[in-house]
Amino acid sequence: MFNPYSEVGTVATGARFVGRGGELARLLPVGRGTSSRALVGMPRMGKTSLATALVDEVEDRERTAVHWIDVSTLGPRTSIVGAVLGLVDQRTWTMGDQFEDMRDALKEVLRSRRARELNTVVIFDEFDTVDSTKEPFFSIRIIREIIYKPHLFGMTALFLCRRRLERIEERVVNLSNLANVATMMALRPFGPAGRAEMIGRGWPNGLTDRHYELLHSLAGGIPYLLELVLQELWEDGNIRTLSDRIMPTFTSYFDSIIRTIAADDMLRALVDIANGGSPIVGINPLMDYGLCSRSDSGRLHLSPGTFSEYVKTITIEERKMDSKPDDPVKMTNNFYNYREANIAVSSSDFEQTIDSAGRSELFDRLADVGLMNDDIEKLRTALEVDAMAAGRPGGRVQGPEVEKWRDRLLRKLGAASLSVGTAAATTAVNDALTAYFGAS
């Protein structure tokens, strides 16, 4: 039987494009020639898929020309202005051309098109690499000037980038130009509705609670990871061997996120949150990216749980490698050194990471239903004791004895004089524990 998730890792089109209806609606002004946007998100979050869907949604294709420029392929001899001009005017502009000439030629062509009621949409893919193109300072100023006046030039732009425009421009001109004209739109992971749409492609009636809890703990709402796990579950529903199958791809993907975060100077905040801290600087961008959220209890946590545990693991290793772990520069380098030295997380370590992510989800639930921190620590200790007794120190109680351990912990909950004061809250805690053990 055909695996509906077998195209994982490629641009999502047709039936595979799910969960982004609201985001697509917010991009439509670009296709209508009224305003520009910057679509910002972590790697593999679906930026290219969303831009492709926008191209398909352009209403009047006879009067709107859509051009796609991969900025990472331009190189130091081609400017983004020259690339645009070459597309709209079928001319190639190289190193010898003056920017004043290109600017005037591009404006003339666009004005002429606008006079004939023709619009131009340009998608700048991989815009983070603009600093490697020819004269990015002048190019950005010219592009900004043009898209600032769509009524005059009829050109709008969609910038696809991993980092915010102002951070990209700091490397180029130390002055934000585009960020004030191209409205930022953060592309976050899927919420419950988006996850349900993706699951529904293969399981119209939804997953079992056990599999859904596992999927959420592993992948959160990241489309690429969701599709990867669902592909493996479709091929082989054996949860016990899942970690062996997905471990290499997960670790590689998490490393790409870490590199992006480091380039945006948010690595310190990321590590602080993963280790239970509440940093003052860097929280909002991490929330924009959908990597960080605040529970009802006010606690910050990273998502998915596997990513949080991965950051903790790398942090421990980099501290072993350097006596000054609080130095952000050394810390960033050590993250890279750790990966480049192939000190990769082993299969057993990754399985424990999955288990730890499940525990993090459990304790977040407990905090959300009203347990105080001291109470949660009592339960955390009880769970660790039970896990060790079951032969899985640091992990999740598993195997045929799981019901005994679950009931035992529930009895401890009732005997610990915890601060859950109502029957409803006690039921919610019991449900959280049951869901946790039921997903083992």
Largest CA distance in the chain: 81
Of 6-15, 371-380, 389-398, minimum mean pLDDT range: 389-398
Whole-angstrom Cα distance, residue 302 to residue 311? 9
Confidence of residue 345 (pLDDT cuts 50, 70, 90): very low
* Whole-angstrom distance, CA of residue 30 vs CA of residue 122: 9
Residue closest to 184 by CA, chosen among 34, 72, 285: 285
Contacts of residue 229, defined as CB under 8 A and 6 or more positions apart, other chains included, come to: 214, 215, 218, 219, 242, 246
Q: What average pLDDT does the structure give for the chain?
A: 78
Which residues is 158 bridged to in the sheet?
37, 123
Question: Cβ contacts of residue 148 below 8 Å, gap of 6+?
Answer: 181
Instruction: Count CA atoms closer than 13 A to 428's CA, side-chain side.
Output: 15
Residues 381-396 as b/e (b if ≥16 CB within 10 A, e otherwise) read ebbeebbeebebeebb
| Weakest-pLDDT range from 38-42, 294-298, 306-310, 381-385 | 381-385
The class that CATH gives domain 20-186 is alpha beta
Q: How many residues belong to the chain?
A: 440
pLDDT band at 361 (very low <50, low <70, confident <90, very high): low
**pLDDT of amino acid 263:** 80
Across the range 395-401, mean pLDDT stands at 49
Cα separation of the two ends of the chain = 28
Which residues of the chain form CATH 3.40.50.300? Answer: 20-186
Q: Is there a contact between 351 and 395 (Cβ–Cβ < 8 Å)?
A: yes
Q: How far apart are CA 254 and CA 4, in angstroms?
A: 24
CA 90 and chain centroid, separation: 37
For position 213, what pLDDT does the model report?
A: 82
pLDDT category at 317 given cuts 50, 70, 90 is: low
Most confident of 148-157, 173-182, 331-340: 148-157
> Of 51-65, 79-93, 365-379, 385-399, which one has max mean pLDDT?
51-65
pLDDT band of 154, cuts 50, 70, 90: very high
**What is the tens place of the pLDDT at every residue in 278-314?**
877 778 889 989 999 887 777 888 888 888 888 887 7
Residue 406 pLDDT more than 60? Answer: no
pLDDT of 206 > 50? The answer is: yes
Query: Binning pLDDT at 50, 70 and 90, where does residue 365 land?
Result: low
Q: Which residues contact 265 (CB under 8 A, 6 or more apart)?
A: 167, 282, 328
Q: Which of 122-131, 139-148, 416-425 bottoms out in mean pLDDT, i.e. has the lowest?
A: 416-425
Q: Pick the residue with more confidence: 3 or 358?
A: 3
Residue 388 has pLDDT above 60, yes or no: no
Strand order across the 37-40 sheet: 64-70, 119-125, 155-161, 37-40, 183-186
Residue 202 reports pLDDT greater than 80: yes
Which residues make Cβ contacts (< 8 Å) with residue 101, sequence separation at least 6?
none
Question: Quick one: pLDDT at residue 404?
Answer: 58
pLDDT class of 421 with cuts at 50, 70, 90: very low
pLDDT tens sequence across 232-262? 999 887 776 777 788 888 888 998 898 888 8
pLDDT band, very low/low/confident/very high, at 434 (cuts 50, 70, 90)? low
State what percent of residues in the chain have pLDDT above 70. 68
Q: How much is the average pLDDT of 74-82? A: 91
Q: How many other CB atoms sit within 10 Å of the CB of residue 132? A: 12
Rounded to an integer, the average pLDDT of 379-384 is 58
